[in-house]
Amino acid sequence: MTTDTALRDQICLLAKSMFNRGLTGGSTGNISARTADGGLLVSPTGTSFGRLDPARLSRFDAQGTLIDGDAPTKEMPLHTAFYDTRSSAGAVVHLHACHSVALSMMPDANTDDFLPHLTPYGIMKMGRVKLLPYFMPGDPAMGAAVRGLAGKRSAVMLANHGPVVAGKDIEAACNAIEELEDTARLAMLTRGHAPRGLSDDDVAQLVARFDVDWQS
């Protein structure tokens, strides 16, 4: 079982890795993970993924009360919406990643199945990604929109803003959101070139083989 100290260190290590590779910049993005006692560790408001301090992460108890650390991200409604509607969620990550944001602004963006089926990995790690409309940063309506999905999606894309992904643990959530951004990058790089994506049969085989949650 991961200790509280080890989880704090892992959150900061993975966040810094994403920051260093340009997946979210400045003081953007937020990240959280379930603790062994059912609480949460959350990145504080206004902090950079490149400079998170393990000792200053916001610490919530199992009842959702802040018990230690700095004030949490203003996007807490997004995080709690995933935890409350997906029992398998052990971590949630939100980035301001350039290519996925760019794809969300395209006039033909698919709201129900945001990522084109270009490689197997986005399908295997996330299933269908829901494109949600634009909300002002910090608007609790973002959390309400996620709750409205009733736990059917592990990943959403906030239009003009950034992706949010829930995973079974912090490593899985980070791997999945990186795959989301990579797929969006491929989509933007190949846009207008009629790329050969996966067929419907290819997708069906992946869903069956890897037990992908492919709910509409």
CA dihedral 39, 82, 162, 194 (to 10 degrees): 140
Active site residue 83: no
Burial class (CB in 10 A: 0-12, 13-18, 19+), 188: middle
Size of the chain in residues: 216
Half-sphere exposure of 38 (CA within 13 A, CB side): 6
User: Of residues 121, 141, 190, 203, which has the active-site annotation?
Assistant: 121
- For CA atoms 165, 171, 176, 182, the dihedral sign is positive
Q: Which residues are catalytic?
A: 121
